[in-house]
């Protein structure tokens, strides 16, 4: 297992529901160990197994639920 961490700016998170949605969709991905979103900072931080997923896949997953993330 190759543990990595990726951080994303998610400027269009507007409420606690957005935070829950981002955390939930990321947490369901294969290889994700933890996902935390911060509404005030408008960021998401993910710990993951680099053998099973990638920062690009994480970014695409956030985009698929309607947000516009960028790598932090």
pLDDT tens-digit map of 55-67: 999 999 999 999 9
Topology classification of domain 3-71: Alpha-Beta Plaits (3.30.70)
Residue 1 clears pLDDT 90, i.e. is over it: no
Contact status, residue 6 vs residue 60, Cβ threshold 8 Å: no
pLDDT of residue 20: 98
pLDDT category of residue 72 using cuts at 50, 70 and 90:
very high
pLDDT one-digit tens code per residue, 6-26: 999 999 999 999 999 999 999
Supply the pLDDT for residue 24: 98
What is the value of pTM for the model shown?
Answer: 0.94
CA dihedral for 68, 42, 54, 26, sign (positive or negative): negative
| Tokens encoding 62 | 């956030």
Rounded CA-CA distance 22/51 in Å is 22
Signed CA dihedral, 14, 19, 21, 23: sign only: positive
Report the SS3 class of residue 56: helix
């Amino acid at each position: 297992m190759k543990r990595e961490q990726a951080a994303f700016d998610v400027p269009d998170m507007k409420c606690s529901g957005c935070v829950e949605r981002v955390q939930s969709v990321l947490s369901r991905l294969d290889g994700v160990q933890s996902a935390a979103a911060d509404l005030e900072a408008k960021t998401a931080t993910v710990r993951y197994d680099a053998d099973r997923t990638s920062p690009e896949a994480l970014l695409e997953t956030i985009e698929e639920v309607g947000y516009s993330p960028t790598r932090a």
